[in-house]
Amino acid sequence: MEDRVEVFRGDKAQITCLFKSGDGIGGITIQWLYVTRLREKQPIYYQDATTKYIESSFPYKDRINVTDNGARGETVLTINDVQIRDEMEFICLVRSLTEGTGEGRTKLKVFEKPERPTIEGMETGISVNEKTPPKIGVCEVKNGFPKPNITWYRNTTPLHDDGDGVSVKSSSTVESSGLFSVRSELSMKVTKEDKNAKFYCEVSYFVPGATRMTETNRINITVYYPSTAVDVWVDSPKGKIKEGDSIVFHCRGNGNTPSLLTLSHNNGDVLGDGNIVVLENVSRQHSGVYKLIVNCKEPAWIYLDPAVVKPEDTVVVAQGEAVTATCNALSSLQTNTAWFKNGEEVFTGHTVTLKDVTFDNTGTYTCVVTVPEIEGMETSGTLDVRVAGPPKIMEQDTEITAAFDTMVELSCHVRGFPPPSVTWNSPDGEVFKMASQKETEEGVESVLSVKVISDITALCRASNKYGTDSVTFNIKASESLLLVFPVSTLGVCGSGVIIAVVIICILLLAILGSVLYFLYKKGKLCGRSGKQDITKGKSNKENIVVEMKSDNTEEATLLGVNGEKQPASEQVNFLIL
């Protein structure tokens, strides 16, 4: 037997047992067994010269079958729809009356390719002066078997837990399906050079006969670092400076953290703070050396904690009532807070109050806390507001005209909380069971598809514990459809269609005329005898003449039965029944 058989979950596994015996298939006994996690042998299948059966105690008996070929000395155990719990050791036991007992073992290995891994970086910036390694990001891969492995990379360099500047913490979860989900968190001290670094995760996982790898997206982090060098220059005037001029000094540091730039003259007088300093009406006393000093305005560490929204998660408020929510995030710097709904700013400030709420106030509110002094430093939280009240069906067109034997979709958009239940009924109380229903942010939406075979009346009724609302849809079935084509405005394609229709009509009329004439000659029309003579021909007025003309102006003229031309501006009407 093979040492191991490897298959993907859901596939079919075949475990083959080969044997040799001079007694033939009728003189041997074949048994299949499996080894439990407690190392106990449990029977699966038994076969001798007169009996074949699968053990009723085997938990997966409905998914297995055993075939044998005595001439080739082979028995095959087949397991269909292999699951994670099927990963175990199987034993083939063959007993011969004259040659004794032989045993073989095979381990079944089951594999499941995990989902695509995800990576999430820190939304807030990270200071180079952090005393402990700050969190960089989290990688996660779900539903793999055996357990996948996650390796962090900085650019092309793998990162491992070294107990000093790099910390990697991994955890795994066994799902109810038996599959593994793995989560890995990277913490690392950063330097100024990390502002351009790309971080990502590599996930290695096993498949039958091989190991494969996949990678997450690349992320970068915001690194905050103080200035280590500063520049000062005269922006105005250009060239030589004379008494009475105004001098504009520009100051700049190479860091990206808030700092205080101070400009002094001859190591003494402080001329000003900030990025721009202006000296007006200068004199010779202003000659000398100017020094720029940079001082951090804030502590060596800069932080912005995650936003905390109160009430948490979802708040339910009755119609007409009020609700107050707060959003705060601790920070070492001054913060601003704004509230957004559906991508639009609706409030500012840490506290927001909704008064006399209606269904219009239902939805998800996102509070965003930003640090104005540092671009991109922000955190956010969400609050779901649900307005409790009786159902309210949104206004819509309820009078519908549809062609006979077509499908029509009727939609009921209902506001309300708890989410209303929607039923569709006919006027006599019959329930339409083919309606679909899904929850929306404001309530529910129910759609009913009906086939128009007659006039239909459908009642949409929505209800919850606060009340009921209903609306009636009236569908009028249209048995015919009138199409009107202006002859004077038909293009080439339109003219072609009319010509084809007219030709078909002419052919049908010709066939009909031939049949009528034949019957007339035979005397079988209107009780006439075939012996009667026809002495008079048909008058010209009884002839039907159809003429179609077309020229470069793409106009068509239709002749009547008496040959009169119809005006070109008239319309040709087709009635389709």
pLDDT tens column, 68-78? 876 678 889 99
DSSP 21: -
Proportion of the chain in helix, strand, coil states, percent, rounded to 5: 10, 50, 40
Segments making up each domain of the chain, as ranges: 4-111, 118-224, 230-296, 308-376, 394-478, 482-576
Burial class (CB in 10 A: 0-12, 13-18, 19+), 519: middle
230-296 matches 118-224 in CATH topology: yes
**Residue 556 near residue 544 (C-beta atoms within 8 A):** no
Architecture of domain 394-478: Sandwich (2.60)
pLDDT of residue 258: 64
pLDDT reported for residue 211: 93
Strand blocks (E) in 80-145: 89-96, 100-111, 118-121, 126-127, 135-144
Residue-by-residue pLDDT tens, the chain, 577 positions: 889 999 999 999 999 998 887 767 677 889 999 998 888 899 999 988 888 898 888 888 889 999 887 667 888 999 999 999 999 999 999 988 777 888 899 999 999 999 999 999 887 778 888 878 889 999 999 999 999 999 999 999 999 988 778 999 999 999 888 899 999 999 999 988 888 999 999 999 999 999 999 999 999 988 888 877 777 777 777 777 777 888 887 777 777 776 666 767 776 666 666 677 787 887 877 777 777 676 655 444 567 888 888 888 788 888 888 889 999 888 878 889 999 988 899 999 888 888 888 888 888 999 999 988 887 888 999 988 888 889 998 888 888 888 888 888 888 999 988 888 888 888 888 888 778 888 888 888 988 888 888 888 889 999 988 899 999 998 888 865 434 344 443 344 445 567 777 788 888 888 888 888 777 776 655 444 444 443 344 444 344 444 444 444 333 333 343 444 444 333 434 333 3
Q: How many Å apart are CA 114 and CA 134, to the nearest integer?
A: 29
- CATH topology for 4-111? Immunoglobulin-like (2.60.40)
Please identify, in words, the CATH class of the domain defined by 230-296: mainly beta
Asked if residue 87 lies in contact with residue 179, where contact means CB atoms within 8 angstroms, the answer is no
SS3 letters across 128-150: CCCCCCCEEEEEEEEEEECCCEE
Which residues are within 8 A (CB) of 33 and not within 5 positions of it... i.e. 6 or more apart? 41, 42, 43, 44, 90, 91, 93
Q: 488-513 burial string, b = 16+ CB within 10 Å, else e? A: eebeeeebeebeeebeeeeeeeeeee
Domain 308-376 has CATH 3.40.50.150: no
CA angle at 357 for the pair 356 and 359, rounded to the nearest 5°: 145
pLDDT at 498: 72
CATH number of 118-224, picked from 3.40.50.2300, 3.90.1150.170, 2.60.320.10, 2.60.40.10: 2.60.40.10
Residue 516: enclosing H or E segment and its boundaries?
helix 492-522
Q: In a 10 Å sphere around its CB, with 0-12 CB exposed, 13-18 middle and 19+ buried, how is residue 125 labelled?
A: buried
CB atoms within 10 A of CB 13: 22
